[in-house]
Amino acid sequence: MRVLHLLDQCDAACTGTTLAMIADAFGRLGHIEQHVMLLGGEATAQSAQHVGLKDAQIIGVPRGSALLGWPTIERHLRHLSTFDLIHCWSPGTLTFAAMRWRRTPRVMTLTQMPSPKRVRWLRVLMREAAGRTMLLPISATIRRELLAGGIEESSTVLLRPGIDVYLLNDKAREPH
């Protein structure tokens, strides 16, 4: 299975925590081949390096936006074959994926509370891609907001992130 992770710098979800979640998935999924495209600039590249996401492809796009960078992204995708799943980490990348890969299944992990405007947009995207898109909110509160905004329950799956205690420094692991 081949998975493409997409995250754009212009989204509020583009944080060190989100990048660490992506980095944490590498090497733990066995035979799954993963590619990461971070759409942004030098700050995104530095954050990715800091959390150990060394194999990410950093693509400079206007204003860090997936949609504005469509031609640039297409040039980088040319050398890659098809993907079995597109994992989006922001509404912008989900929008791009819905337009670019119409038949490819996609998921979007929501790491932050979406605004009502974003929930409405996600509802539109979900209606257009019924059965091919799942939303993965990382908290029950985010999931409740999606459901209250009209997104179907069957399209959301609560994904609680785990904490790898071995990534914490030694002082944090010492008993007090």
pTM of the predicted model as reported, rounded to 2 decimal places: 0.82
Give the DSSP letter of residue 73.
H
Q: One-letter amino acid identity for 30?
A: G
More reliable by pLDDT, 41 or 121: 121
CB 73 within 8 A of CB 42: no
Q: One-letter amino acid identity for 125?
A: L
Confidence of residue 166 (pLDDT cuts 50, 70, 90): low
CB 46 within 8 A of CB 126: no
Where are any strands of DSSP class E within the chain?
A: 2-8, 33-39, 57-59, 85-88, 106-110, 133-137
Q: For 57-88, how does the pLDDT look when each residue is reduced to its tens digit (9 = 90+)?
A: 777 777 667 777 778 888 888 777 789 999 99
User: What distance in Å separates the CA atoms of residue 92 and residue 143, rounded to the nearest whole number?
Assistant: 19
Q: One-letter amino acid identity for 71?
A: P
User: What distance in Å separates the CA atoms of residue 60 and residue 66, rounded to the nearest whole number?
Assistant: 10
